[in-house]
């Protein structure tokens, strides 16, 4: 069990990316939460639905635990964040951090060249890339040859997106990736 003191000590820590060149999908969170920073594992908060949705949508053959995040590479998947620093809530981030994060993310994508960049949070995508009208789904914008898909944020705070509905949207991305 992580204590409040350990969580506060993790504020502003970085969580290493899980990446490789040529991935099918590079998933991109908004920024790491304090539990993710304390553990070093993406989407570590128990209420976060990223891992269940990834499995339910068919991206992984079983539900992975956050500590198993490196296994994603074997499935052609990776994880990064728009903003690297950890915070208790995404609303602690500034618009300038999002824009700078978008710039750095673009550099990362040009270097790694995934087929798809999947940003888990349409609002984060809108701010980071200056696209106020973006909606959930595939975007017109590309980064080099990399296509972009805005996904619903899997945070438990995003309750109007149920797990089945979210899995359906992630499944649409999976179908685009696999061509079926």
Identify the pLDDT of residue 130: 96
Where does residue 32 rank: exposed (0-12), middle (13-18), buried (19+ CB within 10 A)? buried
What are the tens digits of pLDDT across the range 4-24?
888 877 887 789 999 999 999
* Angle between helical axes of 95-112 and 122-129 (0-180°, round to 10): 90
* Residue 91 pLDDT > 80: yes
Tokens encoding 158: 């995003």
Among candidate residues 178, 117, 79, the one with its CA nearest the CA of residue 71: 79
Q: What digits encode the pLDDT tens for the residues 137-179?
A: 999 999 999 999 999 988 766 678 999 999 999 999 999 999 8
Residue whose entry in the numeric block shows the structure tokens 């944020």: 153
User: What integer best gives the mean pLDDT of the chain?
Assistant: 93
Helix (H, G, I), strand (E, B) or coil at 75: helix
**179 torsion bin: left (phi>0), alpha (psi -120 to 50), beta (else):** left
Tokens representing 56 are 């339910």
Average pLDDT over residues 77-83: 97
């Amino acid at each position: 069990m992580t204590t409040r003191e350990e969580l506060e000590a993790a504020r502003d820590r970085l969580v290493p990316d899980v990446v490789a060149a040529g991935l099918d999908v590079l998933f991109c969170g908004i920024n790491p939460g304090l539990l993710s920073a304390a553990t070093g594992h993406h989407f570590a908060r128990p209420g976060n639905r990223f891992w269940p949705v990834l499995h339910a949508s068919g991206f992984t053959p079983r539900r992975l635990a956050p500590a198993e995040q490196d296994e994603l590479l074997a499935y052609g998947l990776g994880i990064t964040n728009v903003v690297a620093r950890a915070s208790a809530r995404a609303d602690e981030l500034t618009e300038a951090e999002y824009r700078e994060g978008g710039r750095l993310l673009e550099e990362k994508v040009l270097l790694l060249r995934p087929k798809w960049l999947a940003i888990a949070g349409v609002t984060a995508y809108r701010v980071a890339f200056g696209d106020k009208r973006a909606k959930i789904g595939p975007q017109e914008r590309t980064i080099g040859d990399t296509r972009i898909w805005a996904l619903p944020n899997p945070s438990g705070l995003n309750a109007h997106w149920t797990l089945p509905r979210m899995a359906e949207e992630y499944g649409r991305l999976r179908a685009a990736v696999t061509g079926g």
